[in-house]
């Protein structure tokens, strides 16, 4: 069963054709890295999935539901960007609980869930702090906690580690991978970093010029690239 599906998706910005005709089926519970050079259309694809933009043609499905025309809040997704977008005036606990609060979850339920995700991300001791009192890695953990607090069907990440230094990026790669293995959500992870994609994902979808070049497990992308572009991009040129 696939829980995220792009069906013949075209996206134009004026005369610019950014997605040609994207067909992509991500199996349930899998971690997919959407990999490609800057400008190939990765973020555009993710924004269409999130409902932040509409396709010019084609359809988008999440968990068997045609969500093409739905508002972001009705799509059962959570998103983490490279800038953490935490609310500076709120505590860590309030930041994490915000998606539940706006949906009217009672305080007791909120508190239990905040405690649960904070424990998973090992930030239980930071709940009373404000974002400015946190390190970069701690902020990223808070953003992840806020994203998973609602048990979304799909978990979308756009270059979430690109603002972190090299050492922290390495640590967070492992953390995000473990976190996604624990969750039942299907994960779509946008990156231009081959190593990140190949080491973190169950499946890698390589894009170039608005078109999908190949989707396969990391080892197959590396050992059996579909074409010269994929081979060169993942560092195993013919
Ligand atoms: P990637 O995430 O792979 O770096 P993007 O999806 O951000 O690529 O962008 C793909 C192309 O679409 C780029 O040429 C970019 O300039 C263009 N683009 C993205 N968003 C818009 C927009 N809102 N208006 C016009 N052009 C856009």
By most ligand atoms within 8 Å of CB, the mutation choice from 16, 33, 188, 197 for ligand 1 is 16
Residue nearest (by alpha carbon) to ligand 1 atom 23: 13
The whole-angstrom separation of Cα 197 and Cα 65 is 27
CA 218 to ligand 1 center in whole angstroms: 26
The whole-angstrom separation of Cα 36 and Cα 78 is 22
36 lines ligand 1 (CB under 6 A): yes
Provide the residue-wise pLDDT of the chain in tens; the chain has 238 residues. 558 899 999 999 999 999 999 999 999 999 999 999 999 999 999 999 999 999 999 999 998 899 999 998 889 898 887 776 899 999 999 999 999 998 899 999 999 999 999 998 889 999 999 999 999 889 989 999 999 898 888 999 999 888 788 888 888 899 899 888 888 789 999 999 999 999 999 999 999 999 999 999 999 999 999 999 999 999 888 8
CA 39 to ligand 1 center in whole angstroms: 6
CB 200 within 8 A of CB 175: no
Q: Is ipTM over 0.90? A: yes
The SS3 of residue 24 is strand
Residue nearest (by alpha carbon) to ligand 1 atom 19: 44
Residue 29: predicted pLDDT: 92
CA 12 to ligand 1 center in whole angstroms: 10
Here the tokens at position 131 are 């974002």
The candidate with the shortest Cα–Cα distance to 92, out of 30, 145, 171, 157, is 145
The whole-angstrom separation of Cα 210 and Cα 36 is 10
* Long-range CB contacts (within 8 A, 24+) of 191-194: 191/33, 191/34, 191/35, 191/42, 191/159, 192/35, 192/36, 192/37, 192/38, 192/42, 192/159, 193/35, 194/35, 194/233, 194/234, 194/235
The whole-angstrom separation of Cα 15 and Cα 4 is 28
51 lines ligand 1 (CB under 6 A): no
40 lines ligand 1 (CB under 6 A): yes
Q: Where are the beta strands (DSSP E) in 49-176?
A: 57-62, 65-66, 77-80, 154-158
**Ligand 1 atom index nearest CA of 36:** 3
213 lines ligand 1 (CB under 6 A): no
Contacts of 221 (CB under 8 A, 6+ apart): 198, 204, 206, 214, 230, 234
16 lines ligand 1 (CB under 6 A): yes
Residue 181: predicted pLDDT: 87
Residue 171: predicted pLDDT: 87
CA 211 to ligand 1 center in whole angstroms: 14
Here the tokens at position 197 are 């994609």
The reported pTM is 0.91
Residue 1: predicted pLDDT: 56
Residue nearest (by alpha carbon) to ligand 1 atom 12: 18
**Ligand 1 atom index nearest CA of 53:** 23
42 lines ligand 1 (CB under 6 A): yes
């Amino acid at each position: 069963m696939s829980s995220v599906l792009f069906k013949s998706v075209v996206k134009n910005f004026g005369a610019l054709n950014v997605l040609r005709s994207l067909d992509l089926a991500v199996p349930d519970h899998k971690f997919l890295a959407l990999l490609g050079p800057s400008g190939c259309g990765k973020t555009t694809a993710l924004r269409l999935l999130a409902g932040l933009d509409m396709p010019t043609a084609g359809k988008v499905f999440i968990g068997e539901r045609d969500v093409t025309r739905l508002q972001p809040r009705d799509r059962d997704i959570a998103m983490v960007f490279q800038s953490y977008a935490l609310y500076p005036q709120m505590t860590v606990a309030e930041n994490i609980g915000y998606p539940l609060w706006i949906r009217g979850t009672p305080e007791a339920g909120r508190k239990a869930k905040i405690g649960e995700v904070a424990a998973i991300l090992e930030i239980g001791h930071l709940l009373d702090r404000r974002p400015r009192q946190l390190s970069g890695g701690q902020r990223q953990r808070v953003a992840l906690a806020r994203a998973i607090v609602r048990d979304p069907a799909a978990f979308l990440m756009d270059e979430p580690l690109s603002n972190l230094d090299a050492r922290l990026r390495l640590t967070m790669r492992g953390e995000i991978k473990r976190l996604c293995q624990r969750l039942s959500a299907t994960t779509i992870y946008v990156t231009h970093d081959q190593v990140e994609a190949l080491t973190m994902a169950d499946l890698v979808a390589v894009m170039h010029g608005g078109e999908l070049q190949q989707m396969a497990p990391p080892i197959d992308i590396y050992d059996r690239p579909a074409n010269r572009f994929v081979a060169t991009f993942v560092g195993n040129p013919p």
